Amino acid sequence: MMWLVNGVYLVVAVLFILGLKAMSSPVKARSGIAWAGVGMVLATLVTFLIPGMQNLTLMLVAIVLGGGVAWWAGKVVKMTDMPQMVAIYNGMGGGAAALIAAVEFARAEVHGPVVGTLAVLGSLIGSVAFSGSVIAFLKLQGIMKKAIRLPGQNLINIALGLLTIALGVWIVISSVGVGTANPLLLVLFFVLSLALGVILTMPIGGADMPVVISLLNAFTGLAVGFEGYVLGNPTLIIAGIVVGASGTLLTQLMAKAMNRPILGVLFTPITGEAQAGGEIEGSMREMTAMDAAALMRYSEKVLVIPGYGMAVAGAQHKVWEMAKLLEEQGVEVKFAIHPVAGRMPGHMNVLLAEAGVPYEKIFDLEEINAEFPQTDVALVIGANDVVNPVARTDKSSPIFGMPILDADKARNCIVIKRGRGAGYSGIENALFYGDHTTMLYGSAQQAVGDVITQLKELS
């Protein structure tokens, strides 16, 4: 029977890899999800064929409960709440990997220093991913509204990390040959691991959250891969390695997009209290929805830059309605996306796709930046730090060197914003004070709706 199980596992591994490959393109992403989903169903079903498998009733109950909750959540969750859903589901994967190791230690099934080391590493990484993802969920959901930084934060991080690792080493040494560990040491190890995830994530603000979610996703993948080795399950090994590798690469790309090293995100996070040096000259100039509609209606080219403000307001459908009205009047409209716009990788792309914006109208930073000098209007909707020119000019700014969308180089810039406050990084935006920039205040939903009304009157 095991030949059949291993054969199915090989097919599952191929499906996972093909699915992930397809997800790299928006056009093929849906089919990629379907392929990976089929692989997951096969991997779950073939598990029941493994000789000696016990607790089949509990497995069925877990599958029904977990599948039912996931199906319901997938149906009711709002697109604007997708980042926190991704965060908590990712954390569940890390927590499951950590629990697997705990159960194996309790059953005295961990034999040898290699298996023991991987079990401890999987437990540590999985626990950090779980508790860190819970904190990320609380921040994204608005339950934890402020970044909390302890006195001597970095020293606490290092000391707690070293203590946890040392305890893990002792657990491995003490369990060699017997496969079990002192229950008190094991409990203490998991408590410290969970605390490390909490303390590492608490100081991180919204500006760094996309990188953190991606990093925790990579952690979960590594934990699953390690525990797959402990269980001797090739599917878990392959799936964990694929997720861990892709998550690591994505994290590096996201960190590069912010011009911030990953260690800088963890140990010197942008908390929302940092400020760029120096005062910004000039003042913000307000405009009406009628003025904004007229300026865009009689333009040749408009570039729309969506940000988290659009997501919070759920305004993506209104934005696309506005874009179609402009196109009907002969205006060229494109969407410019910064890699870290929003609260998770690809957040803006997901929202625009959900609103029906064609993929060929959505461009990333490197593709679109050269077009801003030839653009009549750059429309910034709820974005802040990703269009802040101080990233190019102010060496004292925490975001100095971060690649930005060149909205300030457009002939005119309209900024839709709820108020006059700074963004999640706490940095004042010089773009808002530019001579060619005007502010349209209000939630994105309301402001864009007012612009649509005025565009209809002008048509």
Q: Which residues are catalytic?
A: 385
Look at the alpha carbons of 160, 162, 164, 167 in this order and tell me if their dihedral is positive or negative.
Answer: negative
Say how far apart CA 173 and CA 402 lie, in whole Å: 45
Residues 6+ away with beta carbon under 8 Å from 35: 15, 18, 19, 22
Q: Is the dihedral of CA 298, 304, 309, 313 positive or negative?
A: positive
381, 310 in Cβ contact below 8 A? yes
Q: How far apart are CA 420 and CA 443, in angstroms?
A: 12
- Nearest Cα neighbor of 238 from 248, 229, 225, 256 is 225
What's the N-to-C CA distance of the chain in angstroms? 70
